[in-house]
Amino acid sequence: MLDEPELEDERATPDTNEADADNESLLNRRTVLKMGAAAAAAGLGSAGLTGTAAAETERHGIQFGTVVNAVDDLGMDPNGNEPIDDALQQTMDDEDTLVEFPPGTYLVEDDHAEGSLNNWGIRGLGDVASDVRFVSEPGSSKHLIRTGGGDGILIENVALHYGNDEQGSLGLLLKANDNLRVRYVEFMGFNPTAGNGAVDNLSPQIIDEDGTAIVEGVVRKGPTDITSHGHLGNDSNEGCIWLGEKHVGELIIRDSHIENTGTNAIYARRCTGDVKVENCLFKNNNQASLRIGGDGCHVKDCDFVVDTDDVPDSNGGELINPHSIVWETGPRGDKGGAIENCNFVYRNAPSKTAAAVWVDGSAGEMAIRNSRFELEADDVAAIRIDDPTDPRLGETGARPWGVEIDGVSVTGSSSGSDPAIRVDNRDGSVVRNSCLQLTGEREGIALRNSDARVVDTNINVSELTGLLDESGVSTSNLTNEASCPAPDLG
């Protein structure tokens, strides 16, 4: 388990009561907007619809009955002086609306919540996400959008800037049944500790087993407070992407860049739903870039970099334990899943960092394939696979426990008391088609109390034991002179 105490990851849940008290006495907002669009079309012809409420459209599989311009149609202030809350909330109450925001700064003073939201979205019209910025008053902590369900929610090409006052933040808490899309969203500003009002940047949860969410192009780079992982979140930092037990569907996170978080970049250990992370860059994230594991989960084509010499001077605190992936399933005791075709580079790291990939005892069988590790930081292992039993709890990880390490390359000059690859009490494990070339003083592979195999593998290490065998491991076709491929960061 992690050296730091476990954080109780309880988060506020959305208000499931829809705001409809005035619906009977007020003309439906969508009707007004469509009437305006029709009038504009009658008076100006089709060319006159630019900048006015428009007819229905489809984006990323979500059908919107009405498209409105936040400034021209809804009267929102793009200069950040007047709050946009009433106009934005009204579109959520009415649903079936895509709100398009011209470049500018938009002030929000309230949470915008809906129990269930269908076919609704916001889209920035700028060239990049930061052209459309949502801001709040200094020191506040709130969710720009907070939902409890629904089908068809889109957040696209906008930035949430939560200020540089080192207190408060602005996030998205999005629960949906299906068709949740978060595209090209940037989180900007200083991310503080929870005690100073931080909320998770993004929580994209699918609450229907057959539903899907796609998160792509998310950017979060800090600066931030970095503190030890405290009890009940009192002194801890909130993460970038957080998932709880209610996520039971499929979430795909891809093409994103998450850097310099004070705690987990993506926390997904509690949920039973699939979480798939693809083609992302993670750099200098404290505690872990990913806490993930179990059947239906994978990490593919991602780059992980840790270099303590390359962090913002404006951070509060220093990196403590920046692991890349902690593969764990918590009380679920799940098995399955894989890490494939990833790069791990550790140039400098604090001593509390155990390994780039740490599979803890709560996880059963899993696989690490075709991945490359570069270890220049001392005392950091490439792969650590923990014993799946606990003397207090008995078995924790689901059987079978065997891990597959296939096509892995480990290079670098680091030294350390732990071997580059360590496997404890994992019968049925295999290391194959792999290559180790280490010039520092450390062991290559240690397989302890495991009925395992090491085959077709090069172990080229300096001075210490290449293969530490405490359990009668079977071997075949081992070499000790070849050079090994280093990571190729995309």
In this prediction, residue 235 carries a pLDDT of: 57
The pairing of strands 169-176 and 141-148 is parallel
Residue bearing tokens 């599989």:
61
Whether 217 is covered by a domain: the verdict is: yes
Neighbours of 159 (CB within 10 A): 23
Question: Mean pLDDT across the stretch 18-40?
Answer: 33
Q: Note whether 167 and 139 are within 8 A (CB).
A: yes
Model pLDDT for residues 393-452, shown as the tens digit of each residue: 778 889 999 999 999 999 999 999 999 999 999 999 999 999 999 999 999 999 999 999
Whether 418 is covered by a domain: the verdict is: no
In angstroms, rounded to a whole number, what is the distance separating the alpha carbons of residues 373 and 146? 39
Query: For residue 42, which phi and psi values (nearest 5 degrees)?
Result: -70, -35
Query: How far does CA 12 lie from the centroid of its chain?
Result: 19
In this prediction, residue 229 carries a pLDDT of: 65
In this prediction, residue 137 carries a pLDDT of: 87
Sorting pLDDT into bands at 50, 70 and 90, what band is 47? very low
Least-confidence region, from 17-26, 267-276, 291-300: 17-26
- Domain containing 138 equals 29-292
Question: Mean pLDDT across the stretch 312-319?
Answer: 92
Q: How far is CA 461 from CA 443, 444, 455, 485, in A?
A: 7, 6, 17, 15
Rounded to two decimals, the pTM is: 0.89
Query: For residue 90, which phi and psi values (nearest 5 degrees)?
Result: -65, -40
The total number of structural domains in the chain stands at 1
Mean pLDDT score of the chain = 87
Whether 263 is covered by a domain: the verdict is: yes
Model pLDDT for residues 350-369, shown as the tens digit of each residue: 999 999 999 999 999 999 99
What 3-state class would DSSP assign to 243? coil
In angstroms, rounded to a whole number, what is the distance separating the alpha carbons of residues 227 and 98? 39
Whether 140 is covered by a domain: the verdict is: yes
Contacts of 93 (CB under 8 A, 6+ apart): 18, 19, 20, 23, 29, 114
Sorting pLDDT into bands at 50, 70 and 90, what band is 392? confident
Model pLDDT for residues 188-197, shown as the tens digit of each residue: 999 887 767 7
Supply the CATH number for residue 270's domain: 2.160.20.10
Residue bearing tokens 């592979």:
445
CA atoms within 13 A on the CB side of 47: 0
Q: Note whether 247 and 276 are within 8 A (CB).
A: no
In this prediction, residue 391 carries a pLDDT of: 75
In this prediction, residue 44 carries a pLDDT of: 26
The angle formed by the CA atoms of residues 248, 250 and 254, to the nearest 5 degrees, is: 140
In angstroms, rounded to a whole number, what is the distance separating the alpha carbons of residues 189 and 144? 15
Whether 91 is covered by a domain: the verdict is: yes
Q: Is the pLDDT of residue 42 over 60?
A: no
Whether 85 is covered by a domain: the verdict is: yes
Beta bridge partners of 340: 300, 369
Whether 487 is covered by a domain: the verdict is: no
In angstroms, rounded to a whole number, what is the distance separating the alpha carbons of residues 181 and 152? 8
Model pLDDT for residues 130-174, shown as the tens digit of each residue: 999 999 988 888 999 999 999 999 999 999 998 878 888 899 999
Q: Is the pLDDT of residue 96 over 90?
A: yes
Question: Mean pLDDT across the stretch 253-259?
Answer: 98
Whether 102 is covered by a domain: the verdict is: yes
Neighbours of 358 (CB within 10 A): 25
Sorting pLDDT into bands at 50, 70 and 90, what band is 208? very high
What 3-state class would DSSP assign to 90? helix
Q: Is the pLDDT of residue 312 over 80?
A: yes
In angstroms, rounded to a whole number, what is the distance separating the alpha carbons of residues 79 and 65? 28
